[in-house]
Amino acid sequence: MGNCCCKEAQDSNDSKKAVTYQPDQPAQPVVVPTNPYVHEPGQTPSRAATKTVPNHYVAIYDYETAIDSLPFNKFDEFQIIDFTTNEWFLARKLKDNSEGFVPASYIAEYGSLKTYPWYFEVLSRKDAGVMLNKSIDGSYLVRPSETKPGCFSLSVKVPESAMQTDDPTKKPNSIKHYIIRHSKENNTYFIRQQMPFNSIAELLEFFKNNRDQLGYQLSEPAKPLSSNPDLVIKTWEVDIKDIQLGNELGHGAFGMVYRGTLKGQTQVAIKTFKAGTMDTEAFLEEAELMKKLKHKNILSLLAIQTKAEPIMIVTELMANGALLDYLRKPATKKDLKIKDQIDMAAQCADGMAYLETTGFIHRDLAARNVLVNESRQCKIADFGLSKLDEEYTASNTTRFPVKWTAPEAALYGNYSIKSDVWSFGVLLYEIITFGRVPYPGKNNKEVLDMLETEARMEKPTGCPDPYYGLMMSCHKQDPFDRPTFETLKFQLEDYFFGTTEREYQ
């Protein structure tokens, strides 16, 4: 398949270049790459790999949490005994015949695309660009095409030496996307129809060894934004003896937050509630709703402990802590560029757009309630004030953060997803100012007076006009005039479209 002879092949993305193939100049033969998840590099294939195993799966991540589930290492192989639910399979580990439940998101069918480090089954074009920009030149990944069902997208970080542009005043785009089509007739894959391959792996290996076709060679798979998927725990109600509290991470009106472990193994964050501040029945009802929230920019609620005091919530541990604290660090102020701030704001909008579709109202959206992991992935957190309703009216005794609260909520106690949009405008202020307190120099009463007169915060020093425009769109007096979170997400993701980043540095 690697030897292709034809008159002329032309890249659909570059009509100026054409490559002519001659019979006496065959392309280099394609070497079928070894799938690293079939067996460890340097190791012989496992017993399972030498014969057909029904429902054969392989681990693509380590999993050590041993609460009603089977721990395993990357490359371990399984036979699935029962596809119990979409999230958990009952499996037998082939190397020692141990049995137990394994999380579906940590394993993949043996030999499938999901077992390759360059394939990402759920990844947007925007996130592909973020990943590639953090990787070396020539890095690549493959994902399902968003615009052409049944096809795939090969996304590549183009080496600077190979970049081209028709407009010398504009910096050429360093990320390119190629459509990989699949021919059902002969079961082949191709970017150019004249050059079909038996598999996507063969196609990629060819472009790693030949630079004539794209104008450069592929180098290595892009580095994922996070080394592991979101942590999952099979048991929802855990025993207090399985929870070990570590150092304090923070505290609030309702309780404390600690770094901790489950069964002495899995690193997690644990939020405890002061006795008497939480009605157990009401808490369980809301927790059941919250555990169904699944999104890359929403903090995962893993487990609860309600059988003993204090009541506890177990969540994933975010290495960089609260966004507010992260923004205020000197190292962050030195390293973070405007494109990074825009990306963080877009992630927060993405998480809130998801909540918007579920009917949740956060009611306390602020940088202190957004958490950041080691890859600068932002996740909306602290749903202590959240309500599942289109509109929520607070009681006269409810305390609220005045500087983050919309006028209709602060003055009349009426909360909705549109009051969350107002709070998001304040979050935008926090991000662009590296964690400054909003309404600088004003106390809560003065802020309430401003809200009544429809006065607004001034543009922060150094804040780009388009960014300030987004802030002000969130602060329209009439809640119905404020944008949706979906609109804000798209506006932030397309922030630099048609402009150059230099204009905002």
- List residues with catalytic annotation: 364
β 152-157/140-144 pair status: antiparallel
DSSP code per residue over 442-496: --HHHHHHHHHTT--PPPPTT--HHHHHHHHHHT-SSGGGSPPHHHHHHHHHTTT
* Residues β-bridged to residue 180: 152
Spatial distance between the Cα atoms of 365 and 409, rounded to a whole number of angstroms: 13
The strand ranges marked E within 73-139 are 77-82, 88-93, 99-103, 107-109
Q: How far apart are CA 187 and CA 486, in angstroms?
A: 38
The SS3 assignment for 65 reads coil
Write the DSSP assignment of 263-275 as a string of letters.
TTTEEEEEEEE-T
Q: Phi-psi region for residue 363, left (φ > 0), alpha (ψ -120 to 50) or beta?
A: left
Is residue 65 within 8 A of residue 243, CB to CB? The reply is no
Q: Bridge partners of 10?
A: 18
Backbone angles phi, psi at 264, to 5 degrees: 70, 10
Say how far apart CA 491 and CA 348 lie, in whole Å: 13
Backbone angles phi, psi at 292, to 5 degrees: -80, -10
For every residue of 348-406, DSSP letters joined together read HHHHHHHHHHHTEE-S--SGGGEEE-TT--EEE---TT-EESSEEEPPTT----GGGS-
Which tokens sit at 372?
Answer: 């950041």
Cα(266)–Cα(69) distance, rounded to whole angstroms? 13
CB 154 within 8 A of CB 132: no
HSE, CB side, 13 Å, CA atoms: give it for residue 82.
Answer: 6
Residues 6+ apart with CB under 8 A from 332: 326, 434
Question: Is the Cβ–Cβ distance between 303 and 290 less than 8 Å?
Answer: no
List b or e across 401-417, with b for residues whose CB sees 16 or more CB atoms inside 10 angstroms.
bbbbbbbbbbeeebbbb
What residue has token string 């704001």? 345
